[in-house]
Amino acid sequence: MEDFQPQTLLIPWRRDPNRDHRATWQILSHATQSMELQQFEYLHGAFSRPKEEEWPQNTEASGFTIDISSVQKRKLAAIQAHVSQTTRIIKDDPQGRCISPDELAFFQQPHETWIAPFCSIPEVAGRAKTRDNGK
């Protein structure tokens, strides 16, 4: 990550109901903690009806939507291509689940909802400076 020097990190919401998504958030947040970048978090698990305390609070983040209508069909095709996510192909995990047709409908919306945690916005976190050698 340090060699690549990304300016933006797109990761799952930190309190996503899916434990794999929370682990992804933890790993990437840790790997980039010394880097100066903007972090945006995706409400991927919103369709699974998270508990109230799992939702972003007004004091920690702001939300926004992105129009994805131009790539919506490609996104849905990519999701459906992951048979481990959309079928019962994995049979040895009693806790395993797949995306139901009702949940798949969540991904058929022409927009995505993203979260901008206040701590990752340089102007809010007191880290405002350009990326050209810190000047």
Nearest to 65 by CA among 115, 25, 13, 107: 115
For 108-120, write each residue's pLDDT tens digit.
Answer: 889 988 888 876 5
Global pTM value: 0.70
For 31-87, write each residue's pLDDT tens digit.
Answer: 888 888 888 998 776 556 667 777 777 777 888 889 999 999 999 899 889 888 788
Distance (Å, whole) CA 135 – CA 129: 6
For 86-111, write each residue's pLDDT tens digit.
Answer: 887 777 877 777 777 777 887 888 99
Name the pairing type of β-strands 111-117 and 61-67.
antiparallel
Distance (Å, whole) CA 34 – CA 118: 17
Structure tokens at 27: 């790993």
Structure tokens at 91: 């049979």
Spans of all domains in the chain: 1-46+59-69+110-135, 71-109
